[in-house]
Structure 1
Amino acid sequence: MKVISVMNEKGGIGKTITATSIAWILADRGYNVLLVDGDQQGNASKLYHVIDTGEFDSISGLLEAQLSNNINEEVIKRCIHKDNVYNKVKKDNAEGRLDIIPSNGYLMNTNIKIAISENSGQVLLMKNILKKITESEFLHDYDYVICDCGLVLDMTVLNILIATDLLIAPIKLGGFEADAINDLKAQIKNLEGFNSHIKVKVLFTMKQKNKPTEQIEEFFKNEHDMFNSIISRSVIVEKSTAAFLPLPNISKNSKVTKQYKSLTDEILEVL
C-alpha cells in the first residue's frame, strides 16, 4: 500500500481536484483506493457526497480513537465509507474500488486534542491507523491511499505526511510559488526523523499559456523535481466543483481529465 498526499499552503491551486481526480482514475484502472480527507473544510468528502458524517464517523473518530488507544475494527469500519459517488456509478464488472475516510469542521477540535495530548505517539497516529487498516480482515487490500491535506501544517496534516510515500505539491504560476514550495520542502526536511523516504514532486496546475508563465515554468524545472504533466486552467474544473462531483465523473474525455490521467501514469512510474 502506497500513500500519496496532496498539499500546499496556498489555496485555490487545485489541491482537492488533484487528489479526488487521481483517486477516481486509479480506481477506474482496477486499483483499490482509499481517499482520506485531511482538510477540515471537507471538500473532497463533498465531491464524493460523503457529508454530515459527524465527529465519530470521520477522520476525527479514527484519530481520536487511536490517540486514546481505543481503536478497533468496529471504529475503523464505521469511519470508512463505501457508499459514495464512485462506488455507485462504477460498472458491475469493474475491479477497482474507492472508499473514503471523510472530514468535517470537527477536525479543528481533534487537532487541538492531539496537540495538547501527552501521548508520545501523537505524530504517528495516521501511520498506525493505516497499519491497522492493512491488517483488518473485513476491508479491501488498498493499493493506494490518497490524502487531501489542509492548507496548514496542523496535527492531522503532520500525521499524514509522516505516513506519506509521495507528496504532490500543486502550484499555480503567478503568485508567491517559490516561497510556498521552499517553505513546504523545509517543513518536510524537519520530518526526516519520522519519515526519511518521503518524495516531493511539484505539479503545475491551472496553467494559462503565455510567455511570462512559460519563463517561470522553466525556472521551476531547474530548481525543483517536477511532474512532466501539467494541468491547464479549465471551465470543466469549475463545473466539477459547482456540481459537487469529481472531475472524471463530469467529463471523462476533457483535456484536463486527460492531463490527470497522464499525471496518474507518472505517479505509477514513481511508485
Structure 2
Amino acid sequence: MLSNITVILQVPEIKALLFKAGIMKTWQEEQIQSLLNCDSATDLFERIQLLAHELGFDYCAYGIRMPLPISAPKTEMFNNYPSGWQASYKAKNYLAIDPTIALGNQTTLPFIWSDKLFSSARDLWEDARAHGLEHGWVQSCRDAQGISGMLTLARSGEKLLTSELRAKTSELSWLAQTAHFGMSRCLTAKMLPEAGMTLSSREIEVLRWTAEGKTSSEVADILRIAERTVNFHINNAMVKLNANNKTAAAIRAAVLGLLY
C-alpha cells in the first residue's frame, strides 16, 4: 500500500512545487504529513491556520465548490475571520459582489488584494479593512473532477511587499494546492458521491456520442450495436450518475471528467 507521502507526491501540481529549484525542505516534508494525517475538514483547516500563521498571516479562509448541481453547486466554507466581519459579510450579502471570488473563478494564478481589485465593491473593501482585513493573498485551484477551491490568507498592519511574496511563493502555492487536495479528499465523498463512480468503456463511449447530440439510433449505427444495447448502457450510466435523463447523464459525466 502506498504511504500518504507517496500518494501526495503523485499529484503533479504539488510534486512540481516541491521539487522546483530543489525545494524539498524539512518544513514541507513535515507539513505534508501533518496535513495528510487529518481525518476531517475541520481538523485540516486548523492545520492550515497554523501554517498560515507560520507564513505571516493572521487570518485564512478556504472555500470549496463542487461542479454539481450545475444550477446551484454545493459549497463549503471555512475561515477564522473576526466574528464581526463574518456577520457583516453575510448580512450585506457580500458574497454576491466579492471581486476576489469573481477573479478566483477566472484564474488559478495567485493575486493580492488591492484598491484596483475592489474598485467595483468599495463598501466591501472599506468594511473589510475596518475589521482588520487589510492585506490579502489569494489562489484558486481546480482538479480533473471539476472541483474548485480558493485559499485566502490575510492580515492587518504590515503590507505585503514584493520581496516577501517572492520569497514565499513556493510555500504559499504549495499550501494552496495541498489544502485543495486535502479538502477534496475529506469532503468529496459527502458532497459529490457521483465523483466516486466509474463508468465502463462502453458507457463512456455511448455518453460521448450522446453529449454530441446523437440519438440512441444514431449511436447504435456509429458503434454498430443494437439500439437497445445503447439504451442499456445509457440507463446504467444514468443510475450511476444519479441523472434523470440521458442528457443530464452526459453533462454530469463530462463535468466530472469521466468522458476523457
Same fold flag (TM > 0.5): no
TM-score by length of 2: 0.25
- Tell which has more relative contact order, 1 or 2 (C-alpha 8 A, sep 6+): 1
Larger Rg: 2
TM-score, normalized by length of structure 1? 0.24
